[in-house]
């Protein structure tokens, strides 16, 4: 069983376009879990009405707004999902037909699968949000961008994995890419996302490092699992995460493979 986990906060128009793109490949997965990082009640009401329009299973899980907590939101998505194979997207992604199948095709126990995106402009995004999503629209948009950066990223991920497996590169070089997938059991081995990451940045890098330290390496679907990223303005106060408060926690000397505040923590498993 394949579960799609979509991170969401307030951008309902983006989410609708994401779900419309997933509707074009609904035979390739079993359910979607929209995991909400504290959207307001009005947005939640509209979201619940929106998801009724789709013929595939969509579940919505919500957490109170206490700052930017995407790590906790993604763990909520994992807890709610029923599938043994999990594919992670954000609500501002447009998933092209075949992308889900490529993630599943590349899947292997003891590995995770990384993907990347091509980024739409503001004008392209405005057009997409105002039109009907179709396979031909997505294909045409994807072809407007060069493949060279995607190919370069694909080769970089493969090279990095080889070097890390032979201990010729630091596990701190690992990242997840724009979207990724993994077996539930494998992400459970490291206790999921570290929920100590609050505020913007670092949670994906931390997860990638802990996966590699657990012997769970990357397979690349960067060239084959095609995804477009919708433009949106940066959040107020956003800056590169390496200048943000999370960097001190990320750079701590010892990063345990099994994080203490993850899928299993004091609130989910009280003593």
CB 40 within 8 A of CB 10: yes
The answer to whether 99 and 225 are in contact (CB under 8 A) is yes
Domain chopping of the chain, boundaries: 2-250
Most confidently modeled of 61-75, 156-170, 255-269? 61-75
271 has pLDDT over 60: no
C-alpha to C-alpha distance for 252 and 237, rounded to whole angstroms: 24
Mean pLDDT on 65-77? 94
> pTM higher than 0.85, yes or no?
yes
pLDDT tens readout for residues 133-178: 999 999 999 999 999 999 999 999 999 899 888 888 787 777 776 8
Looking at domain 2-250, what is its CATH homologous superfamily? Spore Coat Polysaccharide Biosynthesis Protein SpsA; Chain A (3.90.550.10)
Query: 163-200 burial, b if ≥16 CB within 10 A, otherwise e?
Result: ebeeeebebbebbbbbbbbbbbebbebbbbbbbbbbbb
């Amino acid at each position: 069983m394949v579960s799609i986990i979509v991170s969401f906060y307030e951008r309902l128009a983006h989410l609708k376009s994401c779900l419309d793109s997933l509707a074009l490949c609904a035979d390739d997965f079993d359910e979607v879990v929209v995991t909400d990082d504290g959207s307001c009640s009005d947005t939640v009401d509209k979201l619940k009405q929106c998801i009724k329009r789709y013929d595939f299973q969509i579940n919505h899980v919500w957490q109170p707004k206490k700052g930017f907590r995407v790590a906790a939101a993604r763990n909520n998505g994992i807890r709610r999902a029923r599938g043994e194979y999990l594919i992670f997207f954000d609500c501002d992604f447009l998933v092209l037909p075949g992308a889900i199948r490529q993630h599943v095709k590349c899947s292997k126990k003891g590995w995770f699968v990384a993907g990347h995106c091509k980024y739409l402009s503001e004008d392209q995004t405005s057009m997409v949000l105002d039109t009907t999503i179709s396979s031909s629209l997505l294909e045409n948009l994807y072809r407007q961008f060069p493949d060279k950066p995607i190919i370069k990223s694909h080769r970089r991920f493969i090279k990095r994995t080889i070097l890390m497996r032979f201990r010729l590169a630091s596990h701190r070089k690992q990242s997840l890419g724009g979207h990724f997938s993994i077996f539930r059991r494998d992400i459970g081995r490291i206790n999921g996302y570290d929920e100590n990451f609050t505020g913007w940045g670092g949670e994906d890098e931390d997860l990638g490092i802990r996966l590699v330290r657990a012997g769970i390496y990357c397979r690349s679907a960067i060239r084959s699992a095609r995804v477009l990223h919708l433009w949106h303005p940066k959040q107020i106060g956003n800056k590169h995460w390496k200048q943000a408060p999370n960097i001190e926690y990320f750079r701590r000397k010892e990063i345990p493979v099994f994080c203490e505040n993850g899928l299993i923590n004091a609130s989910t498993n009280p003593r």
